[in-house]
Each structure stands twice: as C-alpha cells, then as structure tokens.
Amino acid sequence: MAAEKSDGVLLPLSGKLRAITLGAVLIALTATVPYLTLLNAFFFSGVFLAGMSAIYYAVISHQVRLSYNEAFVLGSFSGIAGGIFSETVSFLLIEFTGYRPGAEGLKLMVDWARDMAAGKPELAEQLRALTDMEALALAPVALTPADLLTGVLFASIFYAPIAGLGGVFTVFRLKRQAAKVR
C-alpha cells in the first residue's frame, strides 16, 4: 500500500455523493430492519458490506481507479452518513412506534442461550443475569435529543472506520482481479 496513485481520472462529486448515499442507506437498513440487524452482531459486518458496496458502485459506475486512501476516506464518509441516518431512523422508530431496532435479535440470542443452558444448573446464574439484562434492554424508554446526538456521535465513530475498511477491501479485490486479467 505504499506510494500508490490513481490513474488521474477523478470521481465526480455526484458520484461521491451517490456512493455515500448508497452506503448510508445500506447501513440504515442493516441497523434498523428486523433480523437484518443481526448482520451487525458479527463484527459490524453489515457496515463493512455497506462500505464495500458504496465503493464498488463508485468504481464500477464511473470507471475510475481509487487509491486505498481515497477508498478509505469515501467509505468513512459513507459510515459517518450511515451513522447519522441510522440513528435518526432508530430514534424516530422508538419515539413514534415504540419499536427498538435489534430487539428481535437480542431475543433470539437469549432464547438460544436458554436452550443451551437447559438442564445445566451450573449455568443458572449466568442465565438469570442474561434474562435480567434482556428485561432491562427491552424496557420502554423515553429518549431526548441529547440521546439522539450521543447515538449519532458513537455510531459515526464506530461506523466510519469499518465502512472505510470495507471500501479498502473492495479496492484491493478489484485491483487483484484487474491484475489477473492482464
């Protein structure tokens, strides 16, 4: 990854904005749609895939070469926009419908833990603690605008580098494919 350059063809601003928007929408979907939220339970893989998709779209639709740095920055902007968008959607869902994104995934995992602990009295204490945490996580909440801003800040901090790495991975894969074709 040392001293690499793009080919001089620049990605237009409209292409960057479309890529960022695509990544942000995909992040919001993987952070709010029931059961799709489980993707992010595995090392934020939904965010990583959103960064990959955004950069793939930009490179393929505009036929440009991106350096690893450019891919990381564009993917990171996609992660920041996705954090803002997904947290805003989550806030609105909680406020107006009472639905908490990710609740069904939590319930699935707790049910799985209950099944695994069935008939094992040595796990009863851990299961009780997990059940208490589930009740606390699913309790009704009243959110404030400060909660929204905190959520946006933390989501953006976590999503930006992960989506950026997804973008770098896409450029790496595309460069390997191009090298095999030559």
pTM, two decimals, is 0.86
| pLDDT at residue 6, as a whole number | 56
Mark 144-155 as b/e (b = at least 16 C-beta within 10 Å). eeeebeebbeeb
Task: With a cut of 60, say whether residue 170 has pLDDT above it.
Answer: yes
**Cα–Cα–Cα angle for 29, 30, 34, rounded to 5 degrees:** 85
Q: State pLDDT tens for residues 16-55.
A: 999 999 999 999 999 999 989 999 988 999 999 999 999 9
What φ, ψ does residue 149 adopt, rounded to 5°?
Answer: -65, -40
